[in-house]
Every structure is written in C-alpha cells, then in structure tokens.
Amino acid sequence: MARPKLNANTSEEFTGIKLTGPADFAAGAKGVQVALEHAISEMGAIRAFKTLAKLNQKDGFDCPGCAWPDPDDKRSVLGEYCENGAKALAEEATLKRVEPSFFQKYTIQELSTWSDFQLGKSGRLTHPMVLREGSQHYEKIEWDDAFDLMANQLQALENPNEAVFYTSGRSSNEAAFLYGLFCRAYGTNNMPDCSNMCHESSGVGLSQTLGIGKGSVVLNDFPQAELVVVIGQNPGTNHPRMLSALKDCKKNGGKIIAINPLEEAGLKRFKNPQSPKDMLSRGTEITDVFLQVKINEDIALLKVIMKKLYEIQKIDGDVFDVDFIQNKTEHYEALISDLDKYSTTELIERSGVDEKTIDQAVQLFAERQKIIICWAMGLTQHKNGVDNIKECVNLLLLKGSIGKDGAGTCPVRGHSNVQGDRSVGIVHKSSPALTASLKESFDIDAPQAPGLDTVHSIMAMYEGKAKVFIALGGNFVSAASDTNYTAEALQKCDLTVSISTKLNRSHLIAGKVSLILPTLGRSEMDRSKGKNRFVTVENSMGKVHKSEGKLKPASGHLMSEPEIIAKIASRTLGPESKVPWIEMSNNYDLIRDKIAEVLIGFDSYNKRVKNGEGFYLPNNARQADFSKLPNGKAQFSICSLPDHQLSEDDFLLMTIRSHDQFNTTIYGLDDRYRGVYQERRVLFMNPEDMLKYSFEKLQVVDIVSEYDGIIRVAPKFLVIPYAIPIQNLACYFPEANVLVPINHFATQSNTPISKSIKVKVRANK
C-alpha cells in the first residue's frame, strides 16, 4: 500500500514568546555562558571542555559551523571558536542517540509533526536504516544490504540522469572528490549543492568580473584595511569570529560601514570574550556608518555612492584609482555613462537611506583606498543577485581595491566546507579541463551535458524525470525553496538516501524507499587499520587545511563519508570500473594524491596539509591577474535596478536566521540579539505598517505569496514591531521557505529569491 504523502511544513504551534527588545552588543559574558550551557547540556562538562579545546586548533578538527577562517599563525589557547561554533559542536558531539528502537516507537507520520528543533535534539543516528515501500517505520538494515539496494536501483535506471546527487557543505574535500568522481563515472553531472541556494550568485558575478568565483581577501587583510563594508550580512550570528577581524581593522584606524535592512547587534558593538579590557568595558563600537537600506535596494544605494564619488573625482581627481582603472579594467566609460542616467534623488529615495548618512559613507569611500567588501545572502538571494555582486565589484574597481593588501572581495560562506566541495569538483557542469584530467587519471568519460542544479533537480523529481535522490549531508527539504513543492518532488522518487549524522526532516519526507546512512561527524575519530585518519577542508578565504576528529564515534556502526561513497560506487559500477574505490577510501592519502593530479593548485597536497599549516589555493584576483577575462581586464558591469512592482498592500519579505540556529539546524528557540525568546513563528514588521494595517503586537497573521497565479501560505506568525524599513518584513528560515516559488530564482545563478519574496499579510482567522 502506498504511504500517504507528508506535509513538510514546520510545526505551527506557538512555544511561548517573550520579547525584550534588540541587544546593542554581541558576545560578552552572556555569549560565553550560552556557549557553555549548550556544550555541557549535550556533552557533559568534561567531554565539552576537552572537545572544545580541539575545535579549530591546528592539531584538532574544523568547526562544523560556518566557513570563517582560523588565523594562519598561532591559535588562541583560550579557545578558537565562537558561541555558535560551540553550539554546532554540541549538536554533533551530543550524547543523545537515535537508535533503531526510536524508529520502532515513532512512525514517520508522528515524527513529521515534530518541530525541526525537536527532531534535531533527538540525537545522533547510530545504525543504517531503511524505510520500505508502504511502511511508516524505518527499520535496521545491514550496510551491505543498503549498498546492494542502492546499486540495484541505480543500475536499473534507464538513464544516469534520472539520479540526483546532492552535496551539503559539511563534506570533506576527500568525500566530495570521490562523490563527484562517482557521479561522473556513473554518467551524470546532476550534482546540485548547497552553494546553488546561497553563494552561487557570488560565484557567477565574481567569475564574470574578476575571473574567479571566490573572494580575494585573506584574514590578514582585515587589520590592513582602511575601510570594511559589510553588506547584506549578519556576522554576529552567522560568522561570529568575523567580529574579531572587524575589531582588528578598527584597532588600526580602519572604518566600518554596515549596509542592511536590519541593524544587527553584532555590527553595533562587540565584547570579545577573550579580551579582559572588552569584558570590563563597553567593548568595541563596530559600525561607523549604518545605512539601513530597503530590501533589495542595494544597487540603488551603491549607484548613488558611485555617482557622488564621481562628482568628487571630477573636482579633485584623487578619489578613483585612475592607473588601476586604465591598466587593469575595461568598460569604465560605460559605467560612468550608465550612472549618468539615474537621478540622485530617485536613487536616494529608492534606497530608503537619508542623504546625510549616505554622504558620511561617501566621505569614507572618497578618503580611503584599501577597501574590503564583505557580503552574504542579503545580496545573493534575489532575482538580481548576480548584479548585486557585480555592483560591489564596480565600486571596488573604481577604488583600485582589488589585488592589493587590505583590499578586495569577501563573500562569506555559510557552511564549513562549501567552498572546498566546489574546488574539488562538486559542480553541475564539467569543464573541458576537468573532463580531460578525469580521462587521463581515471579513464573516465565524464558526461559533457550540464547536469541539474538544486532548483532544476527539484523540478525534475517533481516531473518524474529524476527518480533517485542521494544526499551527502544536509537537510534538503528544509533548505530548499517552495517547501511543499520540494516535499512532493522528493516523495515521488523511487529511492531517497541521506548520508547523515543526525535526524532531520528530510528523513521523513522520503521516497518510496528511503535509506539513512549514518556517518562520522567532524569531531570524531576516523580510524583505519588502528590509525587515525584526517580529512581536509577549505575555508571561506581559499585556505586548505586538515581536520582530525578526536572523539570516539557516536556508534560502532558508523562509516566515514569516503567509505560510504566508495562502497556505493564499487557496487554500482562493478569490477569494470578502473577507479580503485576501496583502496582510496581506505587510505585518504591516495585520494589527495589524485586530487593533486586532477586539479590545479593542489600540488604536494599531502605534504602541505600534514604539518597542520595547510596552504592557499591560487587566486588570480588576489594577484590582480585578470588574464583569463576578455582583453585580460577586470570587467566593469552595467547593473539595473530591480523591478518588484509592489502594490500598495504588498511587502517584500526576507528570510533570516535566528541567533540559535545554523542553516537548517535549530540549536534553540531564542534570538537573543533581536530580543525574541522561545518562539520562531514571528514576523518582524515596521510599527508604521502595523498601524497602517491595524495589526497589533503579537497578533496572529498568515503570510501569503502569489506568483504565476499560485498562492502559497505560511500560516500563523506573530507580528513583532521592529526597526525594519517600511513595506519590508523578515521571518525565519526555514519556516518561511514555503513562500518562495520554486520557479523564481536569480538570473544566471538560479539561486532562490529567499531575500525578496513579494507577500501580503492577513489576519489569521
């Protein structure tokens, strides 16, 4: 009997809201207290302190949280992590277990009514599990049987493109390389990844303008920067140790401009827990000029800043880096004449920022030459996400702020190895160079046709064109846009497979048959033949380094990700495959040697990571080398203003993370920096809008989006008055993902429009 389809919406129950109002600083004693509370409650005190001492140390393991880099030189003995790094570790190193008996007790139907928070707090998965056709309960399966089941299903597909292989940013370089190799040997480029949903717009915009889809700065650029711009990013919650880098900039006389629809606590003031002076004082004021831009009006704001800079340039001639522009760039004249087309008044009005504040920012830009621009999803997850990035590049190019110390681009990556996965081949297109290398090193004929990215994979599953979905990590259904559509797509598959450490909603929104393959976490020992093994990862600034887990694994039945992938590959491809899958998964040195053989920049890979130091991958933008671009020049771009066509009662809604969450993982129910406690179903609204539409504080409302005649509803949110621009709204991801239409995404990058969703708000009846 077919299993009834499940709804993937998160729980609609309220959990007891308390409001205190926004905090005016980040970290401090409270940050330490919360970090320790999480770590100790999940791990116990001794295990917590011992494990935290190895987090982000050269002889330890990489934080499973964000991709912010560790210092190149010495690491702090007090701890090289933030509050949210401790929370991420606590989630992974928890002592709670999801044993087979758990699945005997609960049906997937019952579990689907749990919140993401409750599911995540269940603990670590301990055994491979299968959900058989028609069944409501996962049951234990032997590893061998699980691999046979997968191999049979993959072999039975009429076409390799009927399978989709998703990668989350947690996977190591070694696992990701093997996975990509397997996909291509199997015959498909269907390799969506979490980058498709977050920084793909950065990759596209940067590649087209600077010739590399990554940022150009390193951590040591921050103390040298004269000006750091943080735009569309909330580092206090999403990349907390970045606040130390901003503090270093300020200590040396640098200035900070913050551009965001919300004024976030982390960008107001930072009390570094490692600095006694900070802890005894007010800490460091971070932002010098805050520009509270309206949602998705960043281009209007950047254009008016560039227009005003050009006016000053015409008078004193010293504002732009004329030599750099002449020698290293092209299309400057086109940019200037395009700026001419816009009226300053109109741009200011669209941006939502007053002219006096804009002029303060312009002054800082005019007087400084070493500028870093940092950004995250506030720029990338819009229809014009790629143009948002290009406009930032325009500003940096005018100032000659690329390819010199203390200056450059800094897209701050969300998941710890999302950048590394891409570098080692997780991409839904195979370049001619990669194809040739794979042929030479492995005798693999990689498919030439581009594969499916995330949104197109979901569409293919929904339309029945893809039938097998395998996820290397992640919580796909909660991370993707259009939750109900994505859930239906996954449930149409013949087989869904999750290689996971912890229970999450994607295990419940299952295909006809579903497998959970439990794997080692970052913090755990990965042993082979009585010896510890290590893996490698790449941080947000292109540095590759080793990560070696220290804890006893959560269960004796776990396998490492490379082992799981190698077994799937060898069973599916059989003895004809010339790739030594099992040997490589037994000895990661062999994988790294092959990466060095196939990919540029990884020479002497093993040697360079074994000493704990690691190495930076080549970065042409860092060297101001634009030889790969047309005429060997960095490219100025012409970017248009977005056109949302809002009616009087429409709002633009952006999804945001609470301070107690990392991507889809919900650590707790508090958003301390925004003063919201014990509740996630909240809608941040400007008090004037509340008055206009007669919404009261904590009134229950439904949020409704309508695209192409399809109405999507996120029911039951509590309205909170908040300092957000008029006609703008914010609420938490993944609760609001249900509103994001699957077929509306950024031009060129296909990143969902999760930061500018057109919605209406109506009272819940």
The site for ligand SF4 (CB under 6 A) is made up of: 56, 63, 65-66, 68, 81-82, 84-85, 88, 239-241
584 alpha-carbon distance from chain centroid: 29
Q: Which is nearer to ligand SF4, 81 or 177 (CB)?
A: 81
Q: Which is nearer to ligand SF4, 399 or 522 (CB)?
A: 522
Please list, in sequence order, all residues whose beta carbon lies within 8 angstroms of the beta carbon of residue 332, skipping any fewer than 6 positions away.
325, 636
Closest distance of CB 88 from ligand SF4, Å: 6
Whether 684 and 652 have beta carbons less than 8 Å apart is answered as: no
Q: Which is nearer to ligand SF4, 82 or 676 (CB)?
A: 82
Report how far residue 344's alpha carbon sits from residue 340's, in angstroms, rounded to the nearest whole number. Answer: 9
Q: Which of helix, strand or coil describes residue 189?
A: coil
User: Please, is 755 exposed, middle or buried when counting C-beta atoms within 10 Å of its C-beta (0-12, 13-18, 19+)?
Assistant: buried
Q: Which is nearer to ligand SF4, 84 or 705 (CB)?
A: 84
User: Please, is 113 exposed, middle or buried when counting C-beta atoms within 10 Å of its C-beta (0-12, 13-18, 19+)?
Assistant: middle
- Return the closest-CA partner of residue 91 out of 112, 60, 122: 122
Q: Which is nearer to ligand SF4, 66 or 225 (CB)?
A: 66
Report how far residue 535's alpha carbon sits from residue 37's, in angstroms, rounded to the nearest whole number. Answer: 29
Q: Which is nearer to ligand SF4, 238 or 637 (CB)?
A: 238
Q: Which is nearer to ligand SF4, 413 or 681 (CB)?
A: 413
Report how far residue 498's alpha carbon sits from residue 113's, in angstroms, rounded to the nearest whole number. Answer: 20
Residue whose entry in the numeric block shows the structure tokens 């905090």: 23
Closest distance of CB 415 from ligand SF4, Å: 10
Report how far residue 483's alpha carbon sits from residue 125's, in angstroms, rounded to the nearest whole number. Answer: 24
Q: Which helix (H) or strand (E) holds 139?
A: strand 138-140
- Return the closest-CA partner of residue 296 out of 639, 38, 693, 699: 639
Closest distance of CB 230 from ligand SF4, Å: 14
Residue whose entry in the numeric block shows the structure tokens 């970065």: 619
Q: For 153-201, give the secondary structure using H, E and C.
A: HHHHCCCHHHEEEEECCCCCHHHHHHHHHHHHHHCCCCCCEHHHHCCHH
Work out the number of other CB atoms within 10 angstroms of the CB of residue 436.
13
Closest distance of CB 153 from ligand SF4, Å: 36
Phi, psi for 531 (deg, rounded to 5): -120, 150
In residues, how long is the chain? 765
Q: Which is nearer to ligand SF4, 57 or 486 (CB)?
A: 57
Q: Which is nearer to ligand SF4, 81 or 147 (CB)?
A: 81
Closest distance of CB 242 from ligand SF4, Å: 7
Whether 588 and 527 have beta carbons less than 8 Å apart is answered as: no
Q: Which is nearer to ligand SF4, 662 or 745 (CB)?
A: 662
Q: Which is nearer to ligand SF4, 81 or 114 (CB)?
A: 81
Closest distance of CB 474 from ligand SF4, Å: 17
Token pair belonging to 154: 């993959």
Whether 753 and 381 have beta carbons less than 8 Å apart is answered as: yes
User: Please, is 327 exposed, middle or buried when counting C-beta atoms within 10 Å of its C-beta (0-12, 13-18, 19+)?
Assistant: exposed
Report how far residue 83's alpha carbon sits from residue 55's, in angstroms, rounded to the nearest whole number. Answer: 12
Q: Which is nearer to ligand SF4, 82 or 90 (CB)?
A: 82
Closest distance of CB 235 from ligand SF4, Å: 8
Q: Which of helix, strand or coil describes residue 337?
A: helix
Whether 740 and 731 have beta carbons less than 8 Å apart is answered as: no
Q: Which is nearer to ligand SF4, 106 or 662 (CB)?
A: 662
Report how far residue 86's alpha carbon sits from residue 487's, in angstroms, rounded to the nearest whole number. Answer: 31
Closest distance of CB 258 from ligand SF4, Å: 18
Closest distance of CB 231 from ligand SF4, Å: 19
Closest distance of CB 79 from ligand SF4, Å: 9
User: Please, is 359 exposed, middle or buried when counting C-beta atoms within 10 Å of its C-beta (0-12, 13-18, 19+)?
Assistant: middle
Q: Which residue is nearest to ligand SF4 (CB)?
A: 85
Q: Which is nearer to ligand SF4, 451 or 474 (CB)?
A: 474
Report how far residue 446's alpha carbon sits from residue 438's, in angstroms, rounded to the nearest whole number. Answer: 7
Q: Which is nearer to ligand SF4, 78 or 280 (CB)?
A: 78
Token pair belonging to 277: 């002076």
Phi, psi for 76 (deg, rounded to 5): -65, 130
Whether 307 and 341 have beta carbons less than 8 Å apart is answered as: no
Token pair belonging to 386: 């790629």
Closest distance of CB 67 from ligand SF4, Å: 7
Closest distance of CB 291 from ligand SF4, Å: 24
Q: Which is nearer to ligand SF4, 82 or 617 (CB)?
A: 82
Beta pairing class for 543-547 and 535-538: antiparallel
Closest distance of CB 632 from ligand SF4, Å: 36
Which DSSP string do the residues of 466-528 spell out, in sequence order?
--EEEEESS-HHHHSSSHHHHHHHHHTSSEEEEEESB--GGGTS--SEEEEEEB--TTB-EEE
- Return the closest-CA partner of residue 660 out of 238, 274, 231: 238
Token pair belonging to 457: 């994979």
Q: Which is nearer to ligand SF4, 126 or 663 (CB)?
A: 663
Report how far residue 67's alpha carbon sits from residue 69's, in angstroms, rounded to the nearest whole number. Answer: 6
Please list, in sequence order, all residues whose beta carbon lies within 8 angstroms of the beta carbon of residue 759, skipping any fewer than 6 positions away.
650, 651, 652, 653, 703, 704, 705, 729, 739
Closest distance of CB 89 from ligand SF4, Å: 8
Q: Which is nearer to ligand SF4, 214 or 522 (CB)?
A: 522
Token pair belonging to 411: 């897209």
726 alpha-carbon distance from chain centroid: 28
Closest distance of CB 239 from ligand SF4, Å: 5
